[in-house]
Structure 1
Amino acid sequence: MGFRLSKIYTRTGDQGETGLADGRRVGKDHPRIEAIGELDSCNSQLGLLLAELDEASATWPGLREVSDVLRPCQHRLFDLGGELAMPDYQALQQEEVERLEVVIDRWNEEVGPLQNFILPGGSRLIAQAHVCRSFARSSERRCQHLNAVEPLRAVGLAYVNRLSDLLFVAARLIARRQGVAEVLWQAAEKP
């Protein structure tokens, strides 16, 4: 990617449109821009989680592995956003999806099977991992909506799906490595 921003504001979007790398102008509420924006939001939340994991690793060294696995995900989310902004650009590879699957399987073995539904909470890190998971799911929905209008590469759709799965298992792993009980859902009592 040879493009770099030399000026932050251009005034070209003041009328509710933005430009894509292929020269097209689309509305800022276009499904492509919505998907790019949701990926950016997910990436921002992931950055917060990584910062908090880095701080917490001094107390819980087992969390460093979680950071090491999630850190490249920020770059891959940015790659996927780049693919959406520049439809001819292809950065994501199937190996990235497979990398997430290997980690999901390994971490899932450590945390064991779910016995009940769990809720976000227990610690700030666990809750933030769930926030990231929910943003990844929202990103996936936006990408699928765009895919229905303008077909996308399957690898990007698979990646964002696996990322949300990874973040779910990461939240469970963080709880285990922090020694914090997961917050289990409780059905409302019947009157």
Structure 2
Amino acid sequence: MKIYTRTGDQGGTALFGGGRVPKDDPRVEAYGDVDELNASLGLARSIELMPRIDEVLVPVQRDLFAIGALLATPDHDKMREQLTKARIDAERIAELEHAIDDCDRELEPLRSFIIPGGTPKAAALHVARTVCRRAERRVVSLAHDVALPELVVQYLNRLSDLLFMLARVANRRAGAGEVTW
């Protein structure tokens, strides 16, 4: 199978499970931002390997693939299948919260805003956090017109918090400290 199909040359794209929409359709914007988030996490993982941080990110990347497929699927039955495959449920969100709590125990209490940066790993995690927030906004916008499981927005909201905490931990573990505002 060739990577190019030429089917999108006129500005349209196929949805998972059937149908075509313009490439600037809100659904495509939402899953495109989730895809960008996934790529951002891949970049963050490739910088300054930190096993305990990276071990948290790999399952998140798998979740994001499934969320992207979910967002690209207009068929509600197929959406439910993808949500099950992604295991985006209250238990998975609790796992993200547990990871946030683990980070919190390792860090000094937050007393002011943190200027994004520090080590390349932390900076990449901060970029991923901002991409996550954009993806969350796109999904919220899409949810105004399309029935989506609320857990998707909750997951992205919690994930952005986790990415902020992981960036702080990456800086701490590297001895980089934080620049406050």
The alignment's TM-score, normalised by the length of structure 2, stands at 0.90
Deviation at 1:84, TM superposition (A): 1.1
Structure 1 residue aligned with 2:33: 38
* Aligned counterparts of 1:163 and 1:53: Cα–Cα separation in 2: 21
The answer to whether residue 102 in structure 2 is matched with residue 106 in structure 1 is yes
* Aligned counterparts of 1:67 and 1:135: Cα–Cα separation in 2: 18
Deviation at 1:79, TM superposition (A): 0.7
Q: How does 1:61-72 map to 2 (within 5 A)?
A: 63-72=50-59
Where structure 1 has 5 or more consecutive residues not aligned to the other structure, the ranges are 1-5, 55-62, 186-191
Where structure 2 has 5 or more consecutive residues not aligned to the other structure, the ranges are none
Contact 1:38 1:139 in 2 (8 A): yes
The answer to whether residue 5 in structure 2 is matched with residue 10 in structure 1 is yes
Contact 1:136 1:160 in 2 (8 A): yes
2:48 to 40, 53, 59: 53
The alignment's TM-score, normalised by the length of structure 1, stands at 0.85
* Aligned counterparts of 2:57 and 2:120: Cα–Cα separation in 1: 17
Larger Rg: 1
The answer to whether residue 163 in structure 2 is matched with residue 167 in structure 1 is yes
Structure 1 runs (4+) greater than 3 angstroms displaced = none
Structure 1 residue aligned with 2:62: 75
* Aligned counterparts of 1:113 and 1:24: Cα–Cα separation in 2: 49
* Aligned counterparts of 1:48 and 1:133: Cα–Cα separation in 2: 13
* Aligned counterparts of 2:95 and 2:107: Cα–Cα separation in 1: 19
* Aligned counterparts of 1:7 and 1:155: Cα–Cα separation in 2: 35
Contact 2:48 2:120 in 1 (8 A): no
Deviation at 1:158, TM superposition (A): 1.2
Structure 2 residue aligned with 1:58: none
Percent identity (aligned): 45
Aligned length, in residue pairs:
172
Contact 1:53 1:64 in 2 (8 A): no
Contact 2:119 2:170 in 1 (8 A): no
Deviation at 1:109, TM superposition (A): 2.0
